[in-house]
Amino acid sequence: METTVLGYPRIGARRELKKATEAFWAGRETRAHLTETAAALRRQTWETLRDAGLSSIPSNTFSLYDHVLDTAALFNAIPERFAGLDGLGAYFTMARGADGIAPLELTKWFDTNYHYLVPELGPGTDLRLGRDRPLKPVQEYLDAWSHGIETRPVVLGPLSFLLLSKPAEHGFSPLALLDPLVDAYQQLLEKLHTAGAQWIQLDEPVLAADRTATELAALRHAYQRLGSHLRRPALLVSTYFGEIGDALPILAACPVEGIGLDFVAGPGNRAALAEIGGIGVKTLVAGVVDGRNVWRADLPGALSLCESLADLAGNLVVSTSCSLLHVPLDLDTETPLPPEIAGRLSFARQKVDEVVALGRALDGDDLVAAPIAAAAPRVNADIRARLGALADDPVRPPYAARQAAQADGLPVLPTTTIGSFPQTAEIRAARAGYQAGRITQDAYEAVMRTQIDQVIAFQEDIGLDVLVHGEPERNDMVQYFAEHLDGFAVTAGGWVQSYGTRYVRPPILHGDVSRPEPITVGWASYAQSRTTRPVKGMLTGPVTMLAWSFVRDDQPLRETARQVALAVRDEIADLEAAGIRIIQVDEPALRELLPLRRAGREAYLDWAVRAFRLATSGAADATQIHTHMCYSEFGEILGAIAALDADVTTVEAARSRMEFIADLAAAGFAHGIGPGVWDIHSPRVPSVDEIAESLSLALKVIDPARLWANPDCGLKTRGYAETEPALRNLVAAARQVRAEFAG
């Protein structure tokens, strides 16, 4: 019985990729050093998967920044503004921007917390195999082969590449480029065939979402052409993140040798296979081990599922449901986790073992272990009783009444930031010293207060209207709260890539959630005591806490969200009691959890909105509730954003040139809005004129009395070298536009 995985973490056991890449950007290391680090990480992955016993090993799943960006570079989808840059220079500039050059947009990869760079395609885009030689998929295949390891190159499929891209011109459909793109794929197939590759995996995750008749016709056309090409490896078309519906009979009829299906996020794929009578002699790569969550697999259940699939395909391959990119690397490195929790977990390395164990069991060589007898999640009867006594959907008084109560002397077009300020070396050293026991709690808190003093003074100096304390005490906007809430556990090294060199450690939500004591009140109160200007309290919303954690799977998400919302509600009440009158409850992941198919969206948005309102509805009319969202396609949740009923909503808008703000206004959004005017995910500093132009664009569709000026996101990952001039320019631009409006 064959076994495989669809992808593997690429960051390294000690985050070697992050360190090498950032050292290269800073000029501390050479390009050769980065290249050597990348090669070593790829080889470690191939050898790990080989030694674990997988019979088919993927390659080309490694990326220096993002696999969608890799695909754009592979097929020459490089916008004109990046012309003249060399290969690696163009690559990183497309990802991060440079002086005078805006980067590609960044958005969420389906319903995960991974972000991809959005290709820009227009009628003038010359899709063909790129200029890089050797080609990345071919070179990585040959590198693995040189170490005696046969691999299966993985490339994003043509339909997904086009449908995930952005039209460079209004009215243009990227699908118009399907034929030249398929031509380029055919050339790639030939080169891989010549190199000796036996299989190639083409990922088509867009098939897990609703697709139009035109898009399904494009799918058929693409794979009829690719499958009919004579000089090529065998084709595995892999799908994941859900059920593929009408695409299944199309792929079954196309001349491809294998189809990959996700039976974890898409349990209905089993019935769909049976309905069409199976896929004949084709290979079925069965995703039966969850690639996105960290709970140990129910191996007997997965074994039974695999046995039920055996007659529906010519050959069965056991696999993960998707790439293991979305889970931490190795549970064996985690020592602080309590045994009763660790015993329920499985990270990427352990999931490979689960796949191999299933393959051996199907061969009759071994019996899989019985389901793990883990302790039941801890139940908090008091929290459940409080939730039962609260209204299912509590709401605040009308926005107009709150707006009048919140009149506080702020100017038209007030300026603020999203929350965090740069995490300096001093902050990180103090945190590391405190965690290691080298400095006392009093000494640590003294360092944090000094940092808050500096951040408050800096904001007053540059003229921001609403201040923040800078969050020096927080390692991450989700992990920090998880560390202070019962029902969560955190890891020491469970890093997962969010984008580029931004890695996070998702907490593990394993039981009922409660807040033993106030979390942020002391820091917010101290910051407010240092200034006469308003300071925002900064909290993370219930949906984002769930989206960016690994969440218990024994009860509905809506019930878990209500427990987290109650903890946030209590924190808001304590902040109000301490005199904080502006409180931001961030929900950047609201769009992220939206089901890929429309049928499930109404129910999700209903409980997500109710959870936010449960968290915020206890606030007084005079308390101004803000929320923040970033880096997602928000068009499909405009109604839900309005239904949150936040007084002010700040959103990403810099890379998209205010496109979303126009959509929001057209949908009748009537609350305060803060469009991001500085893209903080790029090191470039926007000029005063650039920011003023963005604000002027926003003023065309937003009432000036409701408009705020702010960056796209928190500033934790930036340095003061960019933060200070960018924020000074933001304040200057707001004053300029404010004066023009007054005139």
Tokens for 149?
A: 């390891």
Report the C-alpha dihedral over residues 158, 161, 166, 172, rounded to 10 degrees: 0
Q: Tokens 């929900």 map to which residue?
A: 587
Q: Which residues are CB-contacts of 82 (< 8 A; sequence separation ≥ 6)?
A: 90, 93, 94, 101
Point out the residues that are catalytic. 681
Query: Strands 672-675 and 624-629, how do they pair?
Result: unpaired
Helices (H), 279-394: 299-309, 339-342, 348-362, 381-389
Closest by CA to 675, choosing from 470, 656, 684, is 656
421-425 long-range Cβ contacts below 8 angstroms, 24+ apart: 421/455, 421/468, 421/470, 421/471, 421/472, 421/715, 421/716, 421/723, 422/715, 422/716, 422/717, 422/718, 422/719, 422/720, 422/723, 423/472, 423/716, 423/717, 424/451, 424/720
Closest by CA to 242, choosing from 126, 322, 125, is 322
Angle (CA) 354 356 360, round 5°: 115
CA distance 51 to 567: 45
Task: Confirm if 346 and 294 have CB atoms less than 8 A apart.
Answer: yes
The pair phi, psi for residue 4, each rounded to 5°, is -160, 175
The pair phi, psi for residue 385, each rounded to 5°, is -70, -40
Task: Confirm if 240 and 208 have CB atoms less than 8 A apart.
Answer: yes
Tokens for 272?
A: 């769909």
Angle (CA) 511 625 673, round 5°: 120
Cα–Cα distance list, 562 to 197, 384, 567, 616 (Å): 50, 10, 9, 12
Tokens for 741?
A: 């409006």
CA distance 715 to 706: 24
Closest by CA to 730, choosing from 700, 704, 705, 709, is 709
CA atoms within 13 A on the CB side of 362: 26
Closest by CA to 544, choosing from 592, 580, 581, 504, is 592
Task: Confirm if 112 and 63 have CB atoms less than 8 A apart.
Answer: no
CA distance 206 to 270: 19
Closest by CA to 705, choosing from 413, 326, 498, 460, is 413
Task: Confirm if 34 and 20 have CB atoms less than 8 A apart.
Answer: yes
CA distance 256 to 295: 33
Residues present in the chain in total: 743
Tokens for 351?
A: 């999931």
Beta bridge partners of 585: 539
